[in-house]
Amino acid sequence: MKQKLRAGMIGGGKGAFIGAVHRIALNMDGLIELVCGALSQDPEKAKASGRDLFLPEDRIYESYQEMFKKESALPEDERMQFVIIVTPNFAHFEPAMMALEHGFHVMIDKPMTLTIEEAKLLKDKVDKTGLLLGLTHTYSGYPMVKEARKMVADGKLGPIRKIYVEYPQGWLSQLSESEGNKQAAWRTDPSKSGKAGCMGDIGTHAAHLAEYISGLKITKLCADLNIVVPGRLLDDDGAVLLKFDNGASGVLIASQIAAGEENDLNIRIYGEKGGLKWSQQEPNTLIVRWADAPAQIFRTGNGYLSEVAQLNTRTPGGHPEGYLEAFANLYKNFVMTLAAKLEGTPVDPLLDFPTVEDGVRGMAFIENVVASSKSEKKWWDYVV
């Protein structure tokens, strides 16, 4: 990279959770400068939020429409080069489409859109424009997840036979949306979250992680979604049987009513020769078990790891790397890919990040899980 890339942000103003996480992540490697923002739908909050971030007064916008119009009019060496969208699900599609129409690359929170139809329209636009769209499936950014993916891709486990992935949380074990919890309110509102609650919010992470590490694609599923807490409008718990394109089977469990759980995303993948296990709450450790040898423990920050795991590691062994660093890896890989694209240089194939294709598959997961749960059929063909 010859210089920092310039970014704008939509959403993420005062009181927002994920906007601050994005800003920490994008600042971690010193590759990005936040130059403008439309940080809230409330004009006063938008202005106050921009001042808190020391943005230039004339580049604190009251709407994303104003931001795209005015940024597009700036000289090419001053305007933002990509936009970061950190709004609730229902406010993803329109600003993302407008960004692409104005020639700006996009980094966006998952799930990518409110509906599968919107996701396909975004993919069509990305395909036509050649612009980049990155998606923040954070867990794919962990070094030991990269190591697990490389191990599977290299055939060390043999043909994959079974995948278990579970994501229990407990923060919605009560009707928090009726108690002033802003994060709970929009996530459990069908008009803002979409067709699914728990499965849209964290089930998509689990499905993406299963496909990402295994290199396989879901082809069929059998889903059972539940609304456990009385008065809730969207699923807060569910389980899904999976079939993958190589014939392997899997089980996906996601729940936000597992009282006492924090964020215990974990995955186990078994092949003919052995299996691996990774847990988000102990992210620096990858456990590998063999059919004919003692189990092994792989740890972040050690020289025996693959090149891709080391590329996504910042600290020596024994120094914990977690959620923020994984988030930052997505940004680093995205902007280094974008910089290569802008400079006309080759892109390092190790710089992977979730793309618009992952966004479409995430929306397809939601669509198919909801349809399967409502159906009397045992197996539901996975339609993308």
Res 1: pLDDT: 81
Asked if residue 48 and residue 196 are part of one domain, the reply reads no
Closest C-alpha among 287, 309, 335, 303 to residue 142? 309
Write out the residue range of the structural domain in which residue 284 sits.
143-315+360-374
In a domain, 328, yes or no: no
Asked if residue 153 and residue 190 are part of one domain, the reply reads yes
In a domain, 330, yes or no: no
Residues of the chain with pLDDT under 50: none
Contact 330, 133 (CB under 8 A): no
Asked if residue 168 and residue 118 are part of one domain, the reply reads no
User: What is the CATH number for 251?
Assistant: 3.30.360.10
User: What is the CATH number for 90?
Assistant: 3.40.50.720
CA pair distance 134, 54, nearest whole angstrom:
26
Asked if residue 349 and residue 309 are part of one domain, the reply reads no
Please name the helix (run of DSSP H) or strand (run of DSSP E) that holds residue 34, with its range, or none. strand 32-38
Res 16: pLDDT: 87
In a domain, 331, yes or no: no
Asked if residue 213 and residue 106 are part of one domain, the reply reads no
Res 29: pLDDT: 96
In a domain, 288, yes or no: yes
The DSSP call for residue 92 is S
In a domain, 35, yes or no: yes
- The count of structural domains within the chain is 2
Asked if residue 149 and residue 121 are part of one domain, the reply reads no
Asked if residue 310 and residue 182 are part of one domain, the reply reads yes
Asked if residue 249 and residue 122 are part of one domain, the reply reads no
Asked if residue 79 and residue 44 are part of one domain, the reply reads yes
Res 61: pLDDT: 98
Asked if residue 159 and residue 134 are part of one domain, the reply reads no
In a domain, 334, yes or no: no
Res 174: pLDDT: 97
Res 234: pLDDT: 98
In a domain, 88, yes or no: yes
Res 335: pLDDT: 98
Residues near 296 by beta carbon (within 8 Å), at least 6 away in sequence: 287, 288, 289, 290
Asked if residue 250 and residue 198 are part of one domain, the reply reads yes
Asked if residue 243 and residue 192 are part of one domain, the reply reads yes
In a domain, 238, yes or no: yes
